[in-house]
Amino acid sequence: MKIGIIGANGYSGIELIRLLLQHPYVSIEVLISHSHHGANIREIYPHLLTLMNHQLEALDIEKTSQKVELMFFATPSGISKNLIPQFQQKGVKCIDVSGDFRLKDPRAYEIWYGGKSPHQKYLQQAVYGLADVAPNEIRSAQIIANPGCYPTAALLGLIPAVKQQIIDPETILIDGKSGVSGSGRKPSLSAHYGEVNENVMAYKLGCHQHTPEIEQQLSAVAGAEIKVTFTTHLVPMTRGIMCTLYGDLTKGISTSEVINLYEAFYEDRPFVRIKPIGEWPATKAVYGSNYCDIGLMVDQRTNRLLIISVIDNLVKGAAGQAVHNLNLMFGWNEETGINQTPIYP
């Protein structure tokens, strides 16, 4: 399978390269970079010195589409919405790691992302690629909207409880914490060492662009509109996301019963691991891997369900899930190329 990556010089792009170099069924044919075209990828990422010898190219849709069967888009939001329709017309399947095709409501896109939404035809054609929840829809897709990092952690933690109606969806609270790689490679004051080190910062309160994505998917599961309170924090680490999720219980249920429910829901999903009673996930336990670890507790005193969900934001929250979607689209074993053991310590 001949593939290409647009935005290959960013963190999600380089993580795609790392995973795809270990994938037995793909060949990386094209690496596209608007800002670094003409350079060799090894000049930007010296760790690839003996692994890869690819020059970054400027985008020429006519030439590029003749070289590949599938294109990954590891671009900032606002770019893929203009490019994917052109690749679709050339018969190239697309996996978009940006946020352009995640929201089905054009008005929501314009409010939360700014600018004009993607063309309605392609927006409706895109399948939301939460690989551990909707594998059957993904298998027949031509365009995959890869979920955001926070939504991946939050949705995998919340969907079983919402689907089984054991929590009141109107009471959902999401406390999210992310490492600095989530903001990308482009230098910024918020990711400056002196700002991040020995510091925890809340950011984008009430206006984080992943909010409508979470609400859209939970509403589809519940069959009714859901709004959530979602607070994000930047913590002084490179990789990882932890979402602490809360919801008021609708029925009497024990922690062990909730764990059994989650284990049954994710029984045949290879990358979701449910922690035993009394054990809690940590970001270090999924570092560098495509796993999502989930811990659960029923707080009898407050009548709330407490859910801890952790992922590596660059793997499960981006490149790893994109490769998982690739495997589903082409009928390969889901774990191909992404079954790495987490890095520890």
Residues with catalytic annotation? 149
Please list the residues that pair with 269 across neighbouring strands.
none
CA angle 261, 262, 263 (to 5 degrees): 95
- The distance in angstroms from the start CA to the end CA of the chain is 35
Say how far apart CA 133 and CA 127 lie, in whole Å.
12
| Sheet strands side by side (includes 229-234) | 201-203, 229-234, 173-178, 241-248, 304-311, 292-299, 272-274
The full DSSP string for 165-208 is T-B-GGG-EEEEEE-GGGG-SS--GGG-HHHHTT--EEESTTT-
Other Cβ atoms closer than 10 A to 24: 7
DSSP state of 47: G
Write out the two tokens for 70.
Answer: 């599938």
Spell out where the chain has E strands: 2-6, 27-32, 70-73, 93-96, 127-128, 143-145, 173-178, 201-203, 229-234, 241-248, 272-274, 292-299, 304-311
Whether residue 169 has a cis bond before it, omega within 30° of 0: no
Please list the residues that pair with 174 across neighbouring strands.
230, 245
Strands 173-178 and 241-248: antiparallel
